[in-house]
Structure 1
Amino acid sequence: MNDSTDVDFWFDPICPWSWQTSRWLLEVRRQRPVTVRWHVMSLAVLQDNPRLPRAYRQMLAEARGPARVCAAARAEHGDEVLGPLYTSLGTRFHERGLPQDRSTVETALRECGLPTRLADALTSHAHEEALLISHKAAVTLAGDDVGTPVLALDGPPGTGQVAFFGPVVTPVPRGEDAVRLWHGLTMMAATPGFYELKRSRG
């Protein structure tokens, strides 16, 4: 139970479920030897379907912007900037209810010591390929019929990583509740043949 564990966590900065799960994972990290490697993915890419209503497709196209900003920051400044940038963006989007616009993104970038020109990625496709590569890594592990977040950790011995969509949880478990959920997830990941556990959200 006390062995160090590496976790790969894919998030979309606009997704409230990703945000909740990421705060739970940080709560676990405060209490257990867990190393989190942050990656970006996109709900807009997951849900790209020409049969969706036009207004919804437009919303998804605009939602792609913050994910591209994260991909740009990682490409230019390294993996280590993703966690702090996600926290800065998510605090503004999900806790303060600020708009997902350039002004909010620039403030988050400044807080992380990153150049505000990275906000150009909101409307530029210069880092689209980097976003798609990171996104593809998640769905290669978890499948393309998932959502965000995707969490990957070691599976049964000799099998490499296993990945899950979720856990989807709200409110964020704290203290020992957070650790119990973590232990449950790691036991499921270590079970050969385990794939899915789900119930409807009420």
Structure 2
Amino acid sequence: MVTERSTVDFWFDPACPLSRVTASWIVGVAEQRPIDIHWRVMSLSILNEGKDVDPEGDEEGYLWIPARVCAAIVTAHGHTALGRFYDALWTAEDGGRREWMGDIAEALSVAELPVELAVAGLSTDHDAALRASHAEAMSLVVGEVGTPILAVTHPSGTRHAFFGPVVTETPAPDDALRLWDGTLLVASVPGFREIKT
């Protein structure tokens, strides 16, 4: 039985619903396998800068707000606090998953973080940190990708990074492990780039 722990760096844009489903999947995997998740922020706003048409339809720039708040959280409180906030942002009052993220200030409160961090979303103060985190994620993968990006560092020190997997619903526990094992397998093959269905 494997007991040595791997690390998963999980980069996400906090406003992406499909990234949230993938996050639920990796949390379920971590309950069954020895992995530690390090929550990291990336930004669809940065990804889409300079495009004639924003694929997210965010001409007003709203998506900068939650990403900047995430950058402020991880800078001041670390990746574990970012994970708590991310979970609270997408968890409804009844404990179910939201269809769209909730109120930022309420999520900060639930995550036991200073509610004042919400104002970071309206400032460029943390843009350098946000851009650096985003750039690190993008440096690990090839081609046109989105969110999430995962990088798995094994106890041996080998590291595999990939976009996704993008899932539309959280897999059952056995399926979650099969997806994890399969993803690691294909990502470990030299030259592997992309698979879609």
Shorter-chain TM range is 0.7 to 0.9
State the SS of the aligned residue for 1:62. coil
Describe the superposition over 1:143-195 as per-residue Cα deviations: whole angstroms up to 9, x where unpaired: 3621000011148x78x422111001121102111011111111112222222
Question: Is 1:176–2:174 an aligned residue pair?
Answer: yes
Structure 2: unaligned runs, 5 residues or longer: none
Query: What is the alpha-carbon distance in structure 2 between the residues aligned to residue 129 and residue 117 of structure 1?
Result: 20
Contact 1:9–1:36, Cα closer than 8 Å, also in 2: yes
What's the counterpart of residue 108 of structure 2? Answer: 109
What's the counterpart of residue 79 of structure 1? Answer: 79
State the SS of the aligned residue for 1:141. coil
How many residue pairs align between the two structures? 192
TM-score (norm 2): 0.88
Contact 1:11–1:18, Cα closer than 8 Å, also in 2: yes
Alignment of 1:78-157 (within 5 A): 78-92=78-92, 95-97=97-99, 104-143=103-142, 145-154=144-153
Contact 1:13–1:66, Cα closer than 8 Å, also in 2: yes
TM-score (norm 1): 0.86
Query: What is the alpha-carbon distance in structure 2 between the residues aligned to residue 50 and residue 83 of structure 1?
Result: 30
Identity %: 42
Structure 2 CA distance for partners of 1:97 and 1:168, relative to 1, 3 Å: closer
The residue identity in structure 1 corresponding to 2:179 is L
Query: What is the alpha-carbon distance in structure 2 between the residues aligned to residue 34 and residue 128 of structure 1?
Result: 30
Query: What is the alpha-carbon distance in structure 2 between the residues aligned to residue 44 and residue 32 of structure 1?
Result: 33
Whichever structure has more helix as a proportion of its residues is 1
Structure 2 CA distance for partners of 1:164 and 1:98, relative to 1, 3 Å: closer
Structure 2 CA distance for partners of 1:58 and 1:78, relative to 1, 3 Å: same
Query: What is the alpha-carbon distance in structure 2 between the residues aligned to residue 26 and residue 65 of structure 1?
Result: 25
Structure 2 CA distance for partners of 1:23 and 1:145, relative to 1, 3 Å: same
State the SS of the aligned residue for 1:170. coil
Comparing 128-137 and 43-52, the one that deviates more: 43-52
State the SS of the aligned residue for 2:39. strand
Structure 2 CA distance for partners of 1:99 and 1:23, relative to 1, 3 Å: closer
